[in-house]
Structure 1
């Protein structure tokens, strides 16, 4: 049996017309070291191959690559709120306010967070590495939905996807210093930070309590997901996307 190309969040499955998923590394056409479903535009893989992979992945979800809203990510906290698809630069969170526009972020160890409000029809895809997590990008994006788009925190559903787990995210004092004690443990001279818990806390702080946290670790489960750290920087990228289809 061929492994799935898409990991589908359970928390969204009962919402009509909502499309959400995270790609795995399976079922594409890229060759090593990008094997096989590499969706990373800024890797050294062939652009034609990446485009083919994207078409395959989007077809699984019943959407078109032309409906995606994505950005070149910079580990910052800028948010692109859009009613149109396209490709920008400098944004690490995409908020879709229009059915038929699917927000997407690339990942390969950093945390993907997907948010959906079935009442307002607004959703968001967020890329949160340690810098974005410290900058509060998840909280800022959710606040944009609440304060600018009229979302009630109780209506927002959240999915925290596959990323590097605390067991494998080893950092030095300079990074650990940015995190509260509850999100880190010390092992010898190194610290281990829990990015999933740190980002979940930002949502809970705002009253968002409908949260699914995926247990998959990109390092531990490297056979299924790309890992920048495990593969020493030469690897592919997954895509986490979310959006409402036109009813």
Structure 2
């Protein structure tokens, strides 16, 4: 099986690289089997580094330490304008307009959102769990892009990536009440509330003005498709992490 999925919404942009990883194609043993890209796991660091090297190289990106910006995510609302590679701390969204610099987020049930502003050649990678989603981190990121790059909604293309599905994401009432009723449903058997993270994040894109025809929502679920993707909930916390990345190609170090 392939080690990554390319969102179709970005297929017309030859100078863009955007992808989300799967759990296949790596060297990690169980329970991180096999393409664990998460640094903050109990997996062997050498295995994670090799997995990351393989993932980025499969996308045509070499010298990843000089080309990738990420952050230790804290389920917060802070947005980083990345101008150089590195691992930062405290940000759950990263934006950049620097060619050859890629931004990304790690997930294993939370929602990854990738955005491309074709007019300003700027990108965003967003990590949205229930806290980030209810706090509208997607909207905040878009506003930050508007302020930083002059981004307008009409020029944006977005991918709401693979995460836990609405049938599997049972939450308590204290979480459910943070979401509009349209994003909450009762499980017919357990009568517990379930939240639709994909729909809630998609709605933030639409409210900003991104045309619905320029938004793609993943048809996969980390829980229902656990053979393809890692799921923190389905695997009781002992599992790997996927990466969702995006960036503009540069001539040096990026293969066509």
TM-score by length of 1: 0.97
Residue of structure 2 in register with 1:23 after alignment: 21
Distance 1:189 1:74 in 2: 30
Partner residue in 2 for 1:239 = 243
Is 2:130 the partner of 1:130? yes
Q: Which runs of structure 2 are paired with 1:116-195 in the superposition (5 Å)?
A: 116-187=116-187, 188-195=190-197
Match of 1:34 in 2: 32
Structure 2: where are the runs of 5+ without partners? Answer: 252-256
Aligned-CA RMSD value:
0.8
Give SS of 1:182's match: helix
Secondary structure at the counterpart of residue 53 of structure 1: helix
1:208 alignment counterpart: 210
Unaligned runs of 5+ in 1: none
Equivalent position of 2:107 in the other structure = 107
Cα deviations by residue, 1:75-96 (Å, 9 ceiling, x for unpaired): 0010110121110011000101
Q: 1:122-167 CA deviation, whole Å, 9 max, x = no partner?
A: 1000000000001111010011112321112100000001000001
SS at match of 1:168: coil
1:189 offset after TM fit, Å? 3.7
Higher mean C-alpha displacement, 138-147 vs 234-243: 138-147
Question: Which segment is superposed worse, 38-47 or 64-73?
Answer: 64-73
- Partner residue in 1 for 2:254: none
1:19-50 CA distance string (max 9 Å, x none): 00000000000000000000000000000110
Spell out, residue by residue over 1:208-233, the C-alpha distance to the aligned partner (whole angstroms, 9 max, x if none): 12100011000000000000000000
Other structure's SS at 1:126 match:
strand
- Name the count of aligned residue pairs: 245
Q: TM-score, normalised on structure 2?
A: 0.94
User: Aligned equivalents of 2:34 and 2:53: distance in 1?
Assistant: 14
Does residue 1:226 correspond to 2:230, yes or no?
yes
Deviating runs (4+, > 6 A) in structure 1? Answer: none
Once structures 1 and 2 are overlaid, which stretch shifts more, 184-193 or 220-229? 184-193
